[in-house]
Amino acid sequence: MTDIETNVNSISISELRKSHRGVEILHGVGFTAAPGEVTAFLGPNGAGKSSTLRILLGLDRADSGSALFGGKRYRDIDRPLTRVGALFDGLAGNKMRSVASHLAIVAESNGIPHARVSQTLEQTGLSAKRKSRLGTLSLGEGQRLGLAVALLGEPQFLVLDEPTNGLDPAGIRWFRNFVREQAALGRTVLLSSHALSEVQAVADRAVVISKGNILLDSPLAEATEKISSLEDLFFELTEGVA
């Protein structure tokens, strides 16, 4: 793979700085998520994960630095759902609307063929729920629908925040296979989660942030070579950070 190809299909975050109420909360955050890999973005509450992801997804602005999908800001991407799929901040939509109608409206908004509705429902195991109203879905079903929305445009990039939240053991096992399949297809997967054992089962690379600073950016196998688990590594890095 050439450097140009890598750039086109990489998430590149560089020197992000962000202040809130006069206090800097991101201190030059930077890392890259490469195609064909699952990059885990980890950190304790208040570490700066959500702020970084909000900037990446065009929901907030940085004071300086950049957060790019293939060299472009999210807001500059034409029909963004055909390039970027995101599961972030929960499932939004009219709770009286059916699952299929919700997906159809999202597809229409980005010029995505209607056939993708049935395809993504099948892919996420929700075909039997196509007529169900959003307000009747369980937390786990809502997570699957969020993944269906993310997949509608067959995007290169997937940004997944706490994707296993609410999934039962069978759903978690399904997600493991799902996320590895996406990486195998050459997609660029950025995964944020507090479920460290699940992250260790699927991630290729780990990026750890604490108090607005990147503490680790390494292949997961290399980072855990001399330590028993990702959980132990995570706490070793983040506990007592000033």
52 is a domain residue:
yes
Are 123 and 154 contacting, i.e. CB atoms less than 8 angstroms apart?
Answer: no
Mean pLDDT of 84-91: 85
Average pLDDT of the residues in 133-148: 92
- Indicate whether 103 belongs to any domain: no
Res 6: pLDDT: 55
119 part of a folded domain:
no
Please count the structural domains in the chain. Answer: 1
Domain-embedded: residue 84 = yes
CA angle at 110 for the pair 4 and 108, rounded to the nearest 5°: 155
Q: Residue 79 belongs to what domain range? A: 3-89+156-238
CA distance 61 to 87: 19
Report pTM: 0.92
- pLDDT tens profile 44-65: 988 999 999 999 999 999 999 9
CATH number of the domain that residue 14 is part of = 3.40.50.300
Work out the pLDDT band at 241, boundaries 50, 70, 90.
Answer: low
pLDDT for 237 beyond 50? yes
At 233, list the tokens. Answer: 């590594």
Q: Is the pLDDT of residue 7 over 50?
A: yes
